[in-house]
Amino acid sequence: MAKQSYVSLGERVILGIDHLLATVLSSSPYRWSSGVLRRFGLRGRTLVIAVPWVWLLCFFLVPFIIVLKISFAETRWLGTPPYSPLFEWIDAQFLQVRFNLGNYFFLARDSLYINAFLSSLKVASVSTIFCLLIGYPMAYAIARADTKWRNVLLLLVILPFWTSFLLRVYAWMGLLGNNGLINQVLMAVGILEEGQPLVMLNTDFAMYVGIVYSYLPFMILPLYSNLEKHDLTLLEAAVDLGCKPFKAFLSITLPLSMSGVIAGSMLVFIPAVGEFVIPRLLGGTDSLMIGRVLWDEYFLNRNWPVASAVAIALLIVLVIPIMVFQRFQMQEAGASARR
Amino acid sequence: MAAREERKAPWLDATAAPYIRIEDVSKKFGDFVAVNDVSLSIYKGEIFCLLGGSGCGKTTLLRMLAGFETPTEGRIFIDGVDMSGVPPYERPVNMMFQSYALFPHMTVEQNVAFGLKQEGLPRAEIATRVADMLAIVKLQEFAKRKPHQLSGGQRQRVALARSLVKRPKVLLLDEPLGALDKKLREHTQFELVNIQERLGVTFIVVTHDQEEAMTLASRIGVMNQGRIVQVGTPHDIYEFPNTRFVAEFIGNVNMFEGVILEDEPDHVLIESRELGGRIYVGHGVSTAPDAIVWTAVRPEKMVLTREPPDEANNRASGVIKEIAYMGDMSIYLVQLDSGKVVRITQPNVIRHAEDRFTWDERVWISWHESAGVVVTE
């Protein structure tokens, strides 16, 4: 009698959940459906994982294989389909596989492509660094802001996404143009002389402004989600041990936010390498970006095999940093496994 | 432990100068008064425990000592130096955080060395001091591990080592054993006292766990609603609580409300309706006659019998409602005829007691005249 009263409320709740679970698991519809699926070697977990797998298969792997196949085609006909086949039956007996690496050799020989690659990497790197320099303080400020302000501030970061990307780039054309808002204001104030506008549009400057502006949220969001989780008592501990606040930031916050820095940098760097709209609209006519070369190759030169080879080469160049990032994340995951 | 008790208690020595002086310190957060006009003197080499429930202001007081919070009023002196305006990184004080706050990206060694590096000490000295400290907390073979590769107890020791390696004048400990399981706690408590005695650092411990406070502390300051209610040795606090709050907060206690009949220098006689009889207490209380007072009697100081005790005072009859067998002792809840339920603990001295008390049995409770303590507020 006395002992029974010691069963706590928590234990009772757990008993209740156990009972509910047992009821569901033993109900006939559940047992029937899971039994049928198991006969095909499918369990609930497999099904859940299968959805993204099928998605990636249909919309990533299959198109990739098509592009890969086109990149091996010969360009002796026109650069558009039909292409020289990759596999061919000779006398209905032998399967002939023709790998034409000519397109890749062409890329390596023509300095246009290599220069475009290098300049794309440069533009992407510089943009990433600027995004980081602007995004880190913003993410830090949001993460340390009062809880009631945080969501509002985050919303402001995400807000530009509600407008079309193209519209926003066009808006920058309106701002940066010779008769644009910035020049008009500067002239009205008297900093610039009338009729001598500051040439900003169609320069590298405008291109960088456009890229940094467009990709900044992709830097801020992962940084914020990292910084927001930081245990602030770590900073107190550092200060308590005789470390001045800024040094505590450098030796505690910064290293602990490295995974956020890398995630944000990847999210900016990778699309920025292939960026072609912003350089085209805001950048100078001489700006050479691999995305632009790719576009021209597909739609102006209509040389799909070479264009495909460019696409594959770009992919390979980008896969390397992604793999480095993955490895870094695995190490991080190991380090934070205790949480 | 014995060494600690043999030492002359500095708080009884009128000539001893306090090492830490907290003078009329208050801390307000908006309208909320977290710490309300606290004054305390803590002596060198003490383990002083601030004990209280959550929200009593004990942690705020500790954080003011560390420099993370600034007092709204009052001043804090450490070793004679006024700490107002001294930032935490310049105070001769280190803190062991409740969550330990170990740096997850650094090894045990780097964690312990962190504070010394800030002082700009030569590399060799840092290395020897870190090694010595790790030896004291018995973590030498874990020097290269990261915090997440350690158990809770090991992490606690890293945190201790990290805060002690700078040789602070005062070590502040925020719930130092809170995250450990019961077995490990007991072990660590004694280890903590050992290390403190060896290094002679003054400890200020914040805890909500009265058992922890009792075993660690040289003196305890009980806090309630931002104020210090009572300061004293664990023995003082347990045996001579000065208020109902202290009596009820520390350990278990039975409280009997009553009216004073006789108030003599050597004894007090109280009429208690809750007890259903009179209470005789063998010490004097200075209150107005007819004042309402409470008599606190600890469960282990009560006696359970079947026959009525000879003494007419300090007794009542009732029925056993609950029995909890704890192994070393049993807890009995006895409902008195007045309706009040009294808690009594009796040691289980005999293994096969033939006539144990059982449920619904009619019994008498009683206690000696020296067992009760009268509190007035």
CATH number at residue B260: 2.40.50.140
Domain housing B168: 2-245
The reply to whether B257 and B350 lie within a common domain is yes
Contact A202, A208 (CB under 8 A): no
Q: What is the C-alpha separation between A313 and A268, in angstroms, rounded? A: 19
Mean pLDDT on A138-157: 94
Which of B221, B245, B269 corresponds to the end of one domain? B245
The reply to whether B199 and B59 lie within a common domain is yes
Where residue B16 sits, what CATH number does that domain have?
A: 3.40.50.300
Residue spans of beta strands (DSSP E) within chain A = 87-90, 94-97
DSSP output for A144-155:
HS-HHHHHHHHH
Taking CB atoms and an 8 Å limit, are B105 and A244 in contact across chains?
A: no
Q: Which amino acid is at B203?
A: F
The reply to whether B57 and B182 lie within a common domain is yes
- The 10s digit of each residue's pLDDT in B175-197 is 988 778 888 888 888 888 888 88
Mean pLDDT on B102-117: 95
The C-alpha of A245 sits at a distance from chain B's nearest C-alpha, in angstroms, of 9
Task: Tokens for B343, please give them.
Answer: 């808690």
Taking CB atoms and an 8 Å limit, are B104 and A335 in contact across chains?
A: yes
The reply to whether B271 and B229 lie within a common domain is no
Confidence of residue A220 (pLDDT cuts 50, 70, 90): very high
The reply to whether B182 and B299 lie within a common domain is no
A110 compared with B113, residue with greater pLDDT:
B113
Q: How many domains are contained in chain B?
A: 2
State the average pLDDT for chain B.
89
Task: Tokens for A55, please give them.
Answer: 């998605």
Confidence of residue A5 (pLDDT cuts 50, 70, 90): very low
Residue B170: in which H helix or E strand, if any? strand B170-174
Q: Kindly compute the dihedral angle of the four CA atoms of residues A183, A186, A190, A195, in this order, to the nearest 10 degrees.
A: -10
Taking CB atoms and an 8 Å limit, are B118 and A243 in contact across chains?
A: yes
Taking CB atoms and an 8 Å limit, are A236 and B68 in contact across chains?
A: yes
Closest among A79, A221, A233 to B68, alpha carbons compared: A233
Which of B245, B269, B291 corresponds to the end of one domain? B245
Which pLDDT score is estimated for A255?
94
Q: A226-233 contacts: CB < 8 A, separation 24 or more?
A: A226/A256, A226/A257, A226/A259, A226/A260, A226/A263, A227/A139, A227/A140, A227/A143, A227/A144, A227/A253, A227/A257, A227/A260, A228/A142, A228/A143, A228/A150, A230/A143, A230/A256, A230/A257, A231/B99, A231/B101, A233/B97, A233/B99, A233/B101
Which pLDDT score is estimated for A4?
46
Mean pLDDT on A272-283: 88
B99 in contact with chain A, both atoms CB, cutoff 8 A: yes
A328 in contact with chain B, both atoms CB, cutoff 8 A: no
Taking CB atoms and an 8 Å limit, are A236 and B166 in contact across chains?
A: no
- The 10s digit of each residue's pLDDT in A16-26 is 777 777 777 77
User: Does this complex have an ipTM over 0.90?
Assistant: no
Q: At what angle do helices A147-158 and A204-228 cross, to 10 degrees?
A: 150
Kindly tell me if the per-residue pLDDT of B50 is higher than 90: yes
The reply to whether B220 and B313 lie within a common domain is no
- What percentage of chain A exceeds 90 in pLDDT? 36
Which of B194, B213, B245 corresponds to the end of one domain? B245
DSSP output for A53-83:
HHHHIIIIIHHHHHHHHHHTS--SS-SSSS-
Taking CB atoms and an 8 Å limit, are B97 and A233 in contact across chains?
A: yes
Which pLDDT score is estimated for A298?
85
Angle A253-A256-A258 from CA coordinates, rounded to 5°? 110
Q: Measure CB to CB from residue A243 to each of B89, B162, B323 and give the nearest one.
A: B89
Kindly tell me if the per-residue pLDDT of A264 is higher than 50: yes
- The 10s digit of each residue's pLDDT in B293-329 is 899 999 999 999 988 988 888 999 999 999 998 888 8
Of all residues in chain A, the one with the smallest CA distance to B65 is A240
Q: Which CATH superfamily is domain A111-302 in?
A: MetI-like (1.10.3720.10)
Closest among B119, B120, B117, B21 to B71, alpha carbons compared: B21
How distant is the alpha carbon of residue B248 from its chain centre?
A: 13
Which pLDDT score is estimated for A8?
61
Contact A212, A160 (CB under 8 A): no
Confidence of residue B356 (pLDDT cuts 50, 70, 90): confident
Q: Measure CB to CB from residue B88 to each of A233, A240, A255 and give the nearest one.
A: A240
Contact B263, B284 (CB under 8 A): yes
Residue with tokens 């009040």: B340
Which pLDDT score is estimated for A79?
56
CB atoms within 10 A of CB A39: 8
Q: Measure CB to CB from residue B97 to each of A237, A247, A335 and give the nearest one.
A: A237
Q: Measure CB to CB from residue B166 to each of A234, A237, A241 and give the nearest one.
A: A241
Residue A36, φ and ψ in degrees, nearest 5:
-60, -45
The reply to whether B285 and B226 lie within a common domain is no
CA distances for B228 relative to A33, A52, B374, angstroms: 65, 61, 20
The reply to whether B97 and B218 lie within a common domain is yes
The reply to whether B147 and B207 lie within a common domain is yes
A29 compared with B169, residue with greater pLDDT:
B169
CA distances for B87 relative to A83, A239, A245, B159, angstroms: 74, 9, 10, 21
Q: What is the C-alpha separation between B227 and A250, in angstroms, rounded? A: 39
A106 compared with B38, residue with greater pLDDT:
B38
Kindly tell me if the per-residue pLDDT of A41 is higher than 80: no
Q: What share of chain B is helix, strand, coil (3-state, %, to 5)?
A: 30, 35, 40
Question: Does pTM top 0.80 for this prediction?
Answer: no
Least trusted range by pLDDT, from A264-278, A290-304, B5-19: B5-19
The reply to whether B315 and B225 lie within a common domain is no
Which pLDDT score is estimated for A338?
43
Taking CB atoms and an 8 Å limit, are A243 and B114 in contact across chains?
A: yes
Q: Which amino acid is at A319?
A: V
Kindly tell me if the per-residue pLDDT of B130 is higher than 80: yes
